[in-house]
Structure 1
Amino acid sequence: MIEHAVLGVFDDFDKAEEARAALLADGFDAAALELKVHNDEAGPVEGNFYVGNTPGESEQHVYDSNYVAVQRAQCMLVVDANDAATAARAGAIMARFGARDPNQLSGVRR
């Protein structure tokens, strides 16, 4: 029975994949790891539109998309751990790759 689940949120899929590979290399079972990617067909929540002109070029009516769309917290890696020590080990490994705690992102305090 799984008593502990560790969730790490990543902004970048490649970092989430690297964390997953590091967990596997550390001996975690692939069946205990689940990588979820959340995409929204409407686009990213922050920076959903490419707009803007580079200063100096707007007089020439040359459009330049100088803003970049950013999609945050799109990947979640879940690790099922059997004990607190294993959960802590998983959390430390994921933190090396930039994982963030979803409770901290939402402002939830437990």
Structure 2
Amino acid sequence: MINHAVMGMFDKFDTAEQARAALLADGFGSDALELKVHDDEAGPVEGNFLVGNTPIESDQHVYDRNYANPAQRGQCMLMVNAVDAATAARASAILAGFGARDPDRLSGARP
């Protein structure tokens, strides 16, 4: 029976995959790991809403600035199903080592 779940949010799929590989190397079974990618049909959360889809010649610098580096935030979620608190702590440490963010802390649900 699974008592604990640990989640980590990543901006990049490659980083989430590296964290998953590290968990597997540490002895976590693939059945205890779940990696999901959430794409937003509206596009990146940063860099695409200010000027629309077509640049106006006089505003080319604004268009270039806003579209140059669009950034996805927290689109990859890696969940680890742990059987006890010690295993959950081990998973949390591995996720943290890859820069995972805790979704509860991001949402303000937990201090």
- TM-based fold match above 0.5: yes
- Work out the CA distance in 1 between the residues paired with 2:79 and 2:24: 13
Q: TM-score under structure 1 normalisation?
A: 0.83
Deviation at 1:49, TM superposition (A): 4.1
Matching residue of 1:21? 21
Deviation at 1:40, TM superposition (A): 1.1
After superposition, give the CA deviation of every residue in 1:21-76 in whole Å (9 maximum; x if it has no partner): 0000101000100000000111122222486xxxxxxxx96945233211101000
Matching residue of 1:57? none
Relative to structure 1, the CA distance from residue 61 to residue 35 in structure 2 (aligned partners, 3 Å threshold; closer, same or farther) is same
Identical columns (%)? 68
The one-letter code of the counterpart of 2:74 is A
The one-letter code of the counterpart of 2:104 is N
- Work out the CA distance in 2 between the residues paired with 1:50 and 1:62: 11
Contact 1:23 1:93 (C-alpha < 8 Å) held by counterparts: yes
Q: Secondary structure at the match of 1:99?
A: coil
- Work out the CA distance in 1 between the residues paired with 2:59 and 2:44: 26
Q: TM-score under structure 2 normalisation?
A: 0.82
Matching residue of 1:44? 44
Matches within 5 A, 1:53-72: 63=60, 65-67=64-66, 68-72=69-73
Matching residue of 2:109? 108
Q: What do you get for the CA RMSD once the two structures are aligned?
A: 1.9
Alignment gaps of 5+ in structure 1: 52-59
After superposition, give the CA deviation of every residue in 1:3-34 in whole Å (9 maximum; x if it has no partner): 00000011111110000000001010001000
Find out whether 1:85 has 2:86 as its counterpart: yes
Alignment gaps of 5+ in structure 2: 52-56
Bigger proportion of residues as helix? 2
